[in-house]
Structure 1
């Protein structure tokens, strides 16, 4: 029976790692790996025996997942997780892993067995799909859903109750609308309008800070989140963006076009929710449009 079991483990496509029961560093120590482990990781058995599986971890390995695994093993429980590890050549890979305690005759844990399946391709496809669903199909920048999700995370960090000791200082939101965009489509065609939208997205991305967030809300409207900026700084930044767009010639099939834009800006108030901030910022944009366009209005 033992010979049959070993033959199964040696020929399975799943990775099998057996360690001792020592969970404190430098343990647990690897006692066995099967050929599938070597095929995926590039590590030969003689190179990993006596080492800890921690040697497979790296910057992308989620620490919270590792902590949950460690806690389950200390309780003597089985556990399952998806983990990113790194091969011998430094390439990252994902595995769906299950770990079970190995019990001796007296019921004491003598080691742990990890059975894992390569999930790299599945994870990569999931990441690609998530990227596509979060991107505006025309401009390539985040769409409304992805942007609002990211802005909500920034807003949450403003609340010390949500992020104790980590709260940042201020957040400004700018809502930008291209002035008289319908006339561009009507006069020069939708292809020209699409070119302008793509050009505006590129120009905004080039003129924002690394910490800023940019997304297309739909139509000719864009929203910019500027963490750490107060009212005066946010207005100055919005004025720079407005002037930059007004000075640019956007190449289209109909020739270069000059446009203007209007912006409404607001800063997140203490205790304010994202929905309320968006309403105030959109109202500030409407004020800028009503006042003659090609201007910045603060709310």
Structure 2
């Protein structure tokens, strides 16, 4: 579908929104009936989808802790969604009290919630921007939000890349950020996997086709391509359960998680 048709230009309560569906799955209240309906149809196919949403959140916060423990003090949370406690800035500041966080989303409703919930927190700002315009985003991060790309930064892009269609150049987006990130920076991301159960893909496809919540499922090899130019950290690009512990249940929706470190210049 052409990009313009998938970019939200205002509030449309008749179409599902990925951030609001995720908010509902995590027990939040900032969602519409259409988001709840989509979530319940996902849960009807696999009740463990709610558990997977929690796994995804824990993977994000695991990446935040890893970055902060390595001394990173700048965090760019792309597709941040509606703030949920514990949030990125809360976890980062347990380790690095001076951490700066920019919370980014392209949905105006999500942005409004973030503005209201994060207002008055020094060093934490929200930004309305579309990941599919990475050059503009990087310019604004430098000029409006005081991100210093000459110093290490953690780029968090969890629950986002599978909403970027192939013709919207997801690999180019990551490459743009990689090229400006300082050595020692971290990339933390997830990608919906093509090994997801066919019935789950069919159900979500019917619910989200031609909406901003439409999903592009990718193979494990395709998901690993996002780490081109990075040093692979941890277990590599694997289902996120493998990042979090032993014997966690499998889910019909497969989310691959990966973390990469920008290497020192040769």
So what's the TM-score if we normalise by structure 1?
0.24
Structure with max Cα Rg:
1
Q: Which has the higher strand share?
A: 1
So what's the TM-score if we normalise by structure 2?
0.26
